[in-house]
Each structure stands twice: as C-alpha cells, then as structure tokens.
Amino acid sequence: MAQLLNESEISSSLTTVPSWQRSGDSLTREVELASFPDAIAFVVRVGYLAEAADHHPDIDIRWRTVSLTLSTHSEGGLTSKDFSLAAAIDSAL
C-alpha cells in the first residue's frame, strides 16, 4: 500500500505533472482531443496504463473532452501512485 503524501510532498510532486491540478484529495486533468474516436482511443490507452499500475482513475468522457480524477481511495488521499499514473497518462498523450 502507498502512504499518504504530506503537504510538502504533494507540492513538490505537483511540479512533476504541471498539466494536473489539485482538487482537495485528488488530482484532476481535462484533455481535449481532436475527435470523439480520439477521446475513446485515449481512454483505452489510459485503461491499459491504469490496469498495469493497479490504480484506476475516475474518467468522464464528453464528446472529445476527457476528464480524469486520481486519488488513492484506499488511503483517503494522494499518494505516489497518483503522481506516477498522472505522469504515465501525460506520456500517453
């Protein structure tokens, strides 16, 4: 199990994923793709990354906009798993 990050660790980790924002105990990012099929293909890539990491984001698809939310629910907040998956998702773009 991953341990909750303290405020200093969260602030430092946020600099490694500048496209993500903190929203309470979560990380969020909205991605606009060129088309609905592109959005679906992106979600599939995220799905494989999430499965490999055994860490699954909340995903909302609205036409060509994908909203992602990461949080380690079992720990009640942000852990290194959230930031690692956020970086992997950024690389998938």
39 pLDDT exceeds 90? yes
Say what the pLDDT of residue 16 is.
97
Say what the pLDDT of residue 5 is.
97
Quote the crossing angle between the two packed helices 80-92 and 36-53, to the nearest 10°. 140
> Residue 19 corresponds to which tokens in the numbers above?
């496209």
For the chain, the domains span 17-92
Q: What rounded mean pLDDT belongs to the chain?
A: 97
1 pLDDT exceeds 80? no
What beta strand segments (E) does 1-93 contain? 21-23, 26-32, 58-62, 65-70
CATH of domain 17-92: 3.30.1360.20
21 contacts 67 by C-beta, under 8 angstroms? no
Q: What angle do CA 16, 25, 4 make, to 5 degrees?
A: 75
23 pLDDT exceeds 90? yes
Say what the pLDDT of residue 42 is.
98
Say what the pLDDT of residue 2 is.
84
